[in-house]
A and B are shown apart, each in its own frame.
Chain A
Amino acid sequence: MDGTTSQQQIINACEAEYQNHIADCSGFAKAVAGDLGITLTGMANDIVDQIQAAPWTPLADGIAAKAQADAGNFVIGGLKDNPHGHVVVVVQGPIDSTHGKYPTAYWGSLARKPGQNKTVNWAWDAAERDSVIYAWVPLPS
């Protein structure tokens, strides 16, 4: 153990994988999860399905997602779409200042609109961002 907190481990993994998967949200989420010893598979739509089943625990909203990320748990946010959904990795950090309900996250982007330590209201527009599904798992011990 090097004394790094679990919150910082998640941020470090996001920073390490960001450039490698800047153009692929599911590739980014899978790589970060893999670095932390967590398995995610498939495309973004598959990941959104996976986080809605055990061992993942669903969360009510972005505020609850922030609370779990601040506690050092691994949190994914995602929304299915046809043909390509979108997923983000929620990290410890501030909630958005305008609405007070969108957590800080990292994401790669098929649409070339990646997010590095930005709040989730920059990942989905006003019509979609309140429909994002969040869930968490603890980091493996």
Chain B
Amino acid sequence: MIRHLLFSIPVFLSAVASGQPGGFQPLTMQSAMGTPFGQYSLRLADPDNAEKPKMWQGPLTISSGTVSCTADVSLVTGVYTAPSRSFVIVLTSSGSNATAHFIELQSCAEKWPAIKHAASDVKVAGNRLSFLPTCEGGGSNQPADCTSARVYMIQNDASPSFLRAASAKLTEKELGVGFVGEAKVIDAHTPRAMIVR
């Protein structure tokens, strides 16, 4: 019995950490021929590197049998899928911003308005969408202009909900000081980090 419980705990913790079983995971885009996901095949056009692409000019074409549609997404950095979800999350980049698009598999339509933030990176795991904080400038006792993390919970039938406390917590973890929005920060990314205005 104890042995059974001990083996069960890691499985339970793993499910909690990812938000829910069967949450979003990255789809490794395989080739110009398309990457299978369930009954669908997803293809991104114009990679930056034919052998090891990290970014695609787009668009994204989704096919199912003889039917296909095209999502007009540009500078794609990743596609995330989840079993039993009717949409995929497509991450794109432009300038200093990252954008998450929620694309219907059947129609390529945007299921909900895209979410755009300045971010140093975007993580999708389970039912969480996290824009990581980013800072511009700073150093030599000068504050940097920092933008906080933004964490969202991905839902089935409603647009992603913003998690304010989780956003502040992730900002504190990454920058050394917790806030939501914009702030001038001295010594960001260090234990000495401090908001100055």
Tell me the minimal C-beta distance from A112 to chain B in angstroms.
5
Tell me the minimal C-beta distance from B118 to chain A in angstroms.
5
Residues on B with beta carbons closer than 8 Å to the beta carbon of A122: 48, 55, 75
C-alpha gap A126/B46 in the complex (Å): 13
Residue in B58, B118, B121, B182 with the greatest tally of chain A CB atoms within 10 Å: B118
User: In the bound complex, do residue A84 and residue B145 qualify as a contact, i.e. CB atoms below 8 Å apart?
Assistant: yes
User: In the bound complex, do residue A111 and residue B95 qualify as a contact, i.e. CB atoms below 8 Å apart?
Assistant: yes
User: In the bound complex, do residue A83 and residue B95 qualify as a contact, i.e. CB atoms below 8 Å apart?
Assistant: no
Total chain A interface residues with beta-carbon distance under 8 A? 29
Interface assignment of A121: CB less than 8 Å from any CB of chain B: yes
Residues on A with beta carbons closer than 8 Å to the beta carbon of B136: 24-27, 43-44, 84, 110
Interface assignment of A86: CB less than 8 Å from any CB of chain B: yes
Tell me the minimal C-beta distance from A46 to chain B in angstroms.
10
Contact of B137 among A43, A85, A121, A124 (CB under 8 A): A43
Interface assignment of B155: CB less than 8 Å from any CB of chain A: no
Contact of A113 among B46, B57, B93 (CB under 8 A): B93
Total chain B interface residues with beta-carbon distance under 8 A? 27
CB-CB contacts below 8 Å: A33-82 with B? 42-44, 79, 81
Q: Given A84-B145, A98-B46, A111 and B75 touching (CB < 8 A)? A: no
Interface assignment of A13: CB less than 8 Å from any CB of chain B: no
C-alpha gap A43/B137 in the complex (Å): 7
Interface assignment of B161: CB less than 8 Å from any CB of chain A: no
Interface assignment of B66: CB less than 8 Å from any CB of chain A: no
Residues on B with beta carbons closer than 8 Å to the beta carbon of A124: 75, 94-95
Residues on B with beta carbons closer than 8 Å to the beta carbon of A123: 94-95
User: Interface of B with A (CB < 8 Å)?
Assistant: 46, 48, 55, 57-58, 72, 74-75, 77, 92-98, 118-121, 134-137, 145, 147, 182
Known A23-B120, A86-B95, A124-B75; further 8 A-B contacts with Cβ < 8 A: A26-B137, A27-B136, A83-B145, A110-B135, A113-B55, A113-B77, A126-B74, A127-B74
